[in-house]
Amino acid sequence: MQDILSMMRTLRRPRLLIRAARIGANDYNRDKHLQRLLGYGTLPRSGPAMLALMDLERRMNDQRKGNDTAYSLVGHLDVLIAMIGESRILRDSQGSVT
């Protein structure tokens, strides 16, 4: 899972978007957010969830950069909030194992 956290640290997005996502991540609720973003059913563990979220975010960022009319700022922010929330869960779980 360290590779996923490293990928998160190297992610470069507009400062305001990341700042808003960090604030929103303080109220992150895994059950509610992941269900809405990844679909209903059994929630994946944090690692696989992060990979799915990163793929979704990459597509949204391409839409943002391409000025695609289908781009949703709120949706992009929601995915970033989930990514930050899941990365915090991963980081905390690694700290308790070592």
| Mean of pLDDT values over 32-42 | 85
Please name which of 59, 61, 63, 69 lies closest in space to residue 21, comparing C-alpha atoms.
61
d(CA 94, CA 98): 6
pLDDT given at position 96: 53
Q: Where are the beta strands (DSSP E) in 1-98?
A: none
Q: Which domain holds residue 13?
A: 2-97
Element (H, E) at 92: helix 73-97
pLDDT at 92 over 90: no
How many structural domains does the chain have? Answer: 1
Q: How much is the pTM?
A: 0.85
Percent of the chain with pLDDT over 70: 94
Per-residue confidence band for 16, with pLDDT thresholds at 50, 70 and 90 = very high
Confidence class of residue 46 from pLDDT cuts 50, 70 and 90?
confident
